[in-house]
Amino acid sequence: MEGMGMVSKGDEIEERSMQMIEEEAGSSKNNYSSDEWIVVRRVIHATADFDYVKGGPDSIIFSRDAVGSALSAIGSRCRIVCDTDIIPAALNRSALKSLGLECISRISDPLVIEEARRSNMTRAEVAMRMMREHISNGIVAVGNAPTALYEVARMVRDEGVRPMLVIALPVGFVSAVESKMMLMSIAGEHGVEYISNRGRKGGSTVVASILNALFRLYMQKGPARV
């Protein structure tokens, strides 16, 4: 019974947090569809940062059918390809199991490390290349390494790789913004859906919160949504 009480209290806290986010976001949330707002609200919940909704460069951007494409990918039990080990660790494990999804990161793979040393490439670039077969029809989640995003954009442009969704939110100063802009440009030209922003903010926690929100959306709406 004590455990049940703790779960209930946690649910109450989350519900109140969401109410506070709704109130503080105000009319800014009207820039998003109802499904998109559920995703952005989860990002704010994870970060306590309203820059993701206030209309500046860090505001979350959705391509035309980003959410719908993501839900279709989830429904087909896609692979989720990540640029760091942090993202898989931050995902809702029960949701992954229930949805039959596999989340992959090879950034710590000895083969990736060795090839990066040999080729003078970053581990993130090499890891994305080695996960190429899982990227087409999958979801790509980049929260740390701009070089991973550059490589995904290159594969889309030069090799015809077609992910169902790219979550493009590397955080930082060197090439973070530039890699996002390149990805959005190339994705737009080749019909690839994305969730991103135009600023420096992002990170693995943000990316994981987006994925967890998409899992929740799928479980709430079911296959009929897609």
CA angle 170/177/108 to nearest 5° reads 25
Among candidate residues 149, 67, 134, the one with its CA nearest the CA of residue 102: 134
User: β-strand 61-62 against 79-82: which pairing, if any?
Assistant: unpaired
Q: DSSP letter at 145? A: -
- C-alpha distances out from residue 171 to 9, 92, 102, 168, 174, Å: 33, 22, 24, 10, 9
Please tell me what DSSP assigns to residue 64: T
The amino acid that residue 133 corresponds to is E
Nearest to 213 by CA among 79, 62, 89, 35: 35
Phi, psi of 157 (to 5 degrees): -75, -45
Which residues are the active-site residues? 45
CA dist., res. 211 & res. 74, Å (int) = 10
Both tokens assigned to 193: 């859906």
